[in-house]
Amino acid sequence: MQVPQNNPLLQTPTRSLPRHVAVIGAGSIGPDIGYYLKSTLPDLKLTLIDISQAAIDGALGRFAEYANKALAKGKMNAQQAAAVQQNVHGSTDYDAIKGCDWVIEAATENIDLKRRIFAAIEARVASDAVITSNTSSLPAERIFSDLQHKERATVTHFFAPAWRNPAVEVIDWPEAAPALVAWLRWVFCSTGKLPLVTSDAPCFMLDRIFDNWCNEAALLLGQATASEVDTVATEFVHAGPFFVLNLAHGNPIITETNTLQADEEGEHYRPAPIFKSVQKWLTVAPGKRVEVPAATAQAIRDRLLGILWSQSVDILDRAIGTPADLDLGCCTALGFKSGPLALLRQTPLAEAQRILDRLAQERAGMPMPRKPLADYLRFERHVLVDDLDGVKVITLRRPEALNALHDEMTDEILAVIRRFENDPGVAGFVITGYGNKAFCAGADIGRFPSMLGDKAAAAQYSRDCSRLLVHLDSMQKPVVAALNGMALGGGFELAMRCHALVAIENSWMQLPEVSLGILPGIGAMVVPYRRWPQAAGTFHAMLRRCEKLKAKQALALGVVDALAKDSSELIALAVARVQALAQGHSRIADAPVAVPAFEPMDGKAASGMILSPTTLALLERAVQQAAEAPTLAAALEIGYLAFGDSACTAAAREGIAAFGERRAPDFARVG
Ligand code: DAK
């Protein structure tokens, strides 16, 4: 039996991508699921089934509306916008699903109705067609109990808006074939989603958090108003529970799902009766707040944090999901600013214990930790680690930021390397990115504003940020970068310090730093020239004009060692490369290197953007000085200091501000 991999794309799929999918239910979420599938698999045949023709017409109208918006925003071209609407069929007749290889049920949350639908589906599709339900709460073992072929059925729980929200829970229940779960994870990951595997508990993983978060909010209404609760809650979430309930018309759902939990797991889950009598909550929109007396704020805060941690430890103790998925899912699916475990990590443990003790007093029966709190925090949040034939594959997983690097992720990569580098059973490492779009979109630009304006601090930050890269330089065991998509800025700087690079054919590299008014201060002004002197001209253009380097060009230049057609071939190549380098790998040259002179240029990036002459001058000086430096370490130090200089320019302030404000920087104005 194949051992399931944490990175879904490491598993070789047992069947191909779907060709004909039917979605049953053209209400709110069904068409959104269909739109996601069509926008990522344009050749797919999609059939929408509903008992109401008006619902089907509305769904098709929604496809046109979404596609037109995507076109207007430049997210799709005209051809893509047309393709997403082609080969989409609506029908009130279940016979239209004949020939489907995957049917997704997205009907009302009613177990008898769902069972009738599954019987109708099973009578019409092949015995190996995949059947999934979008239920948010009903366990698979109950809804699929009457199916003849249960092994091809499970729950795939999407989150609103399903065309854009990446999270999907995939339920691993005892009757589901392991190959089914592996295939669903692979399909979702290959199509830009974030599959989160959970066990078959009522409400699975994320709705246990969300439903109880909302229920506690309602139970607090005796001592606080909805506006007060939402005001305090926005410390943790982008929108408070009452605001979200209004938006999603969620009151009946909480009544239903918490009744299910109460009936199965105890009275403490019983929904607040007020859900039945209120249509719309009087509350404040995100960004607005009301004054909350200190004691009330404390009571709300304690209770909300208490329920988050109570539910989280219960989910982990019962192995409903993994800690990394829990935190990531809360952020991506539910709009939390930090995951519950990240919040726990930031809180002194005695304070966290006080909050849990208070919850135990106020809400008897709620789950409490079964082991010391610190034990729940021992996990990697931003990387996945897999083992393939004695090679550790480290996958960067920050899908919300195209796997952009930040300090925590850097530390986790380094910690994994340190854990295994002296293990004789480990041949080496592969570093790759999650999904099929990005290896890594660079450093997390959101963190940059804090280091502008202080030369010494910025230079020190560069040194600190280089801890992983400098470690790679001195390693005995090989580390291979497997570029599964774009490698930008700091992401490419990480890849170029690995001991070999392999890439998927359509991947590309870019150093966009000067377009942000900063310098690539952690190696890109130094390493390429010492490692691939034959490609110096290309790197000049990458650094000064942000020119892209496509994988095929990189192969021709010797920057990349081999190209792969798809992700499984990519990882196989990378693993083979690690094994080939087991006897030793070459080091980045320590000696000075000659670089070609910089030709005069028009001061523009390849995109036409006018660049800052100040930034360009700093860049050119640093590249030349670093090339002459007597050692690699001295050259890198020149890069750190040059970054410090760039961080104090008006161009850096403008470039970073413009990225945050989603506008083009005006370097012509700042110089
Ligand atoms: N940091 C943070 N978030 C990022 C990100 C990044 N580098 N790249 C992408 N994202 C986020 C986007 O903001 C977006 O978030 P939401 O809006 O959904 O919340 C999400 O990822 C998806 O991105 P898009 O919606 O933009 O996706 P598209 O396919 O439309 O565009 C893109 C993909 C890669 C063209 C675009 O996202 C983009 O231009 N991203 C920025 C690329 C970039 O400039 N990277 C940074 C290069 S500079 C140093 C240390 C490190 C560095 C330098 C110095 N020292 C300490 C000295 C490194 C510098 C760099 O890496």
Residue 456 domain-assigned?
yes
Assess whether the C-beta atom of 516 lies below 6 angstroms from ligand 1.
yes
What three-state secondary structure class fits 104? strand
Residue 181 domain-assigned?
yes
Ligand 1 atom, smallest distance to 520 CA: 53
For ligand 1, atom 58, the nearest C-alpha belongs to: 490
* CATH code of residue 55: 3.40.50.720
Mutate to test the pocket of ligand 1, among 165, 337, 402 (most ligand atoms within 8 A of CB): 402
List pLDDT tens digits, range 327-345. 999 999 999 999 999 999 9
| Same domain membership, residue 454 and residue 305 | no
| Same domain membership, residue 192 and residue 232 | no
Q: Give distance in angstroms: CA of 326 to centre of ligand 1.
A: 24
pLDDT at 665 over 80: yes
Assess whether the C-beta atom of 509 lies below 6 angstroms from ligand 1.
no
pLDDT at 3 over 90: no
The pLDDT of 535-556, averaged and rounded, is 98
Partners of 184 in beta bridges: none
pLDDT at 20 over 80: yes
For ligand 1, atom 32, the nearest C-alpha belongs to: 441
Last residue of a domain, one of 198, 223, 241: 198
By DSSP bridging, strand 88-91 and strand 562-564 are unpaired
For ligand 1, atom 38, the nearest C-alpha belongs to: 441
Burial class (CB in 10 A: 0-12, 13-18, 19+), 85: middle
Ligand 1 atom, smallest distance to 513 CA: 48
Structure tokens at 136: 């948010």
Residue 549's φ and ψ, nearest 5 degrees, are -115, 110
- Burial call 212-238: b when 16+ CB within 10 Å, e when fewer: bbbbbbbbbbeebbbbbbbbbbbebbe
Assess whether the C-beta atom of 665 lies below 6 angstroms from ligand 1.
no
Distance CA 522, CA 643 (A): 8
| Same domain membership, residue 415 and residue 365 | no
Block residue for tokens 């050749």: 43
Q: Give distance in angstroms: CA of 119 to centre of ligand 1.
A: 47
Mean pLDDT lowest among 3-12, 62-71, 381-390, 652-661: 3-12
- Contact predicate 486/437, CB 8 Å: yes
pLDDT at 102 over 80: yes
| Same domain membership, residue 211 and residue 192 | no
SS3 content of the chain, % helix, strand, coil (to 5): 50, 15, 40
What range defines the domain where residue 541 resides?
Answer: 383-670
The closest of 139, 267, 157 to 215, measured between CA atoms, is 267
Distance CA 115, CA 313 (A): 33
Instruction: Give the pLDDT band of residue 527 (cuts 50, 70, 90).
Output: very high
Distance CA 439, CA 433 (A): 4
Q: How many domains in the chain?
A: 3
| Same domain membership, residue 156 and residue 299 | no
Amino acid 344 reads L
Residue 266 backbone zone (phi > 0: left; psi -120 to 50: alpha; other: beta): left
pLDDT, residue 506, reads 96
Give percent of the chain with pLDDT exceeding 70: 100
For ligand 1, atom 18, the nearest C-alpha belongs to: 400
The pLDDT of 301-312, averaged and rounded, is 98
Q: 161: cis peptide before it, omega within 30°?
A: yes
Ligand 1 atom, smallest distance to 402 CA: 21
pLDDT at 195 over 80: yes
Residue 1 domain-assigned?
no
Ligand 1 atom, smallest distance to 511 CA: 47
The pLDDT of 97-109, averaged and rounded, is 96
* CATH code of residue 262: 1.10.1040.50
pLDDT, residue 446, reads 77
The pLDDT of 243-254, averaged and rounded, is 94
| Same domain membership, residue 311 and residue 179 | no
Active site residues: 493, 513
| Same domain membership, residue 443 and residue 366 | no
Q: Give distance in angstroms: CA of 264 to centre of ligand 1.
A: 45
Assess whether the C-beta atom of 641 lies below 6 angstroms from ligand 1.
no
pLDDT, residue 319, reads 97
| Same domain membership, residue 392 and residue 368 | no
The pLDDT of 431-452, averaged and rounded, is 89
Give percent of the chain with pLDDT exceeding 90: 94
Q: Give distance in angstroms: CA of 403 to centre of ligand 1.
A: 9
| Same domain membership, residue 186 and residue 124 | yes
pLDDT at 555 over 70: yes
Block residue for tokens 């399903």: 162
Residue 606 domain-assigned?
yes
Distance CA 485, CA 440 (A): 8
Assess whether the C-beta atom of 656 lies below 6 angstroms from ligand 1.
no
pLDDT at 306 over 50: yes
Distance CA 90, CA 47 (A): 6
For ligand 1, atom 35, the nearest C-alpha belongs to: 441
Assess whether the C-beta atom of 660 lies below 6 angstroms from ligand 1.
no
Q: Give distance in angstroms: CA of 202 to centre of ligand 1.
A: 37
Q: Where are the beta strands (DSSP E) in 381-475?
A: 383-388, 391-396, 428-433, 438-440
Mutate to test the pocket of ligand 1, among 382, 488, 496, 619 (most ligand atoms within 8 A of CB): 488
Partners of 486 in beta bridges: 438
* CATH code of residue 624: 3.90.226.10
For ligand 1, atom 28, the nearest C-alpha belongs to: 75
Q: Give distance in angstroms: CA of 487 to centre of ligand 1.
A: 10
The pLDDT of 304-319, averaged and rounded, is 98
| Same domain membership, residue 466 and residue 395 | yes
CA distances from 346 to 69, 197, 335, 377, 539 (A): 40, 26, 19, 11, 41
Residue 2 domain-assigned?
no
pLDDT, residue 237, reads 96
Assess whether the C-beta atom of 490 lies below 6 angstroms from ligand 1.
yes
List pLDDT tens digits, range 563-583. 999 988 999 999 999 999 998
| Same domain membership, residue 457 and residue 337 | no
Block residue for tokens 């979404």: 66
> Would the CA dihedral through 69, 73, 79, 80 be positive or negative?
negative
List pLDDT tens digits, range 158-179. 999 999 999 999 999 999 999 9
Assess whether the C-beta atom of 494 lies below 6 angstroms from ligand 1.
no
Q: What is the side-by-side strand order in the sheet with 428-433? A: 383-388, 391-396, 428-433, 479-483, 500-504, 562-564
SS (H, E, C) 190-252: HCCCEEEEECCCCCCCHHHHHHHHHHHHHHHHHCCCHHHHHHHHCCCECCCHHHHHHHHCCHH
| Same domain membership, residue 591 and residue 448 | yes
Q: What is the mean pLDDT of the chain?
A: 96
